[in-house]
Amino acid sequence: MERYGRTMTRVGEDVNRMKDYPDRMTPEQARRFGEDVLNIVSQIPRGRVTTYGHIAALAGWPSHSRMVGRTLRYTPGAEHLPCHRVVNKEGRTAPGWSRQRTLLEEEGVCFKANGHVDMVRHLWEPEGDG
């Protein structure tokens, strides 16, 4: 994932200016975090979803769920990953991305009456998937 290095360094510099993160990342930490996020997302199986917060925790920065979203949105090439399999902790899809629900439904992901993913049935937790 070397091609993401330069972008992630820039993102790392931006992180140091953000006030909503209690922990500050160095540019190198941000680069590694970005690579970890992309690696984790690439492993989410068809028909399963995980959350921004879970990805942040797996990457070692549990308070950085928003940074996961920014990484997926702004890293060139991330659109080739199964980003549609990442939802918020309630199972809501990304605002303004109506195609996300369609992509998930095509993989067999079920939605509840309130429009949220059925997290009990579809949450991917790599520790439990052995």
Q: What pLDDT, in 10s, does the model give residues 28-78? A: 999 999 999 999 999 999 999 999 999 999 999 999 999 999 999 999 988
The angle that helices 27-42 and 5-15 make with each other, rounded to 10 degrees, is 120
Residue with tokens 């510099």: 13
What local confidence, expressed as pLDDT, does residue 60 receive?
A: 95
d(CA 47, CA 35): 23
Please choose, from the candidates 68, 2, 76, the residue with its C-alpha nearest in 3D space to the C-alpha of residue 41: 68
Q: What is the dihedral of CA 97, 14, 51, 6, to 10 degrees?
A: 80
Q: Provide mean pLDDT across the span 75-82.
A: 92
Is residue 119's pLDDT more than 80?
yes
Q: Of the candidates 118, 130, 121, which has an alpha carbon nearest to the alpha carbon of residue 91?
A: 118
Going from N- to C-terminal start, the domains of the chain cover 2-122
pLDDT tens string 83-115: 999 999 999 999 999 999 999 999 999 999 999
Options 1.10.10.10, 3.30.70.20, 3.90.1300.10, 3.40.50.720; CATH for 2-122 is 1.10.10.10
pLDDT of residue 10: 41
The pLDDT score that the predictor gives to residue 58 is 96
Instruction: Report the pLDDT value the prediction gives residue 95, as an integer from 0 to 100.
Output: 92
- pTM exceeds 0.75 for this model: yes
**pLDDT at 23 (0 to 100):** 62
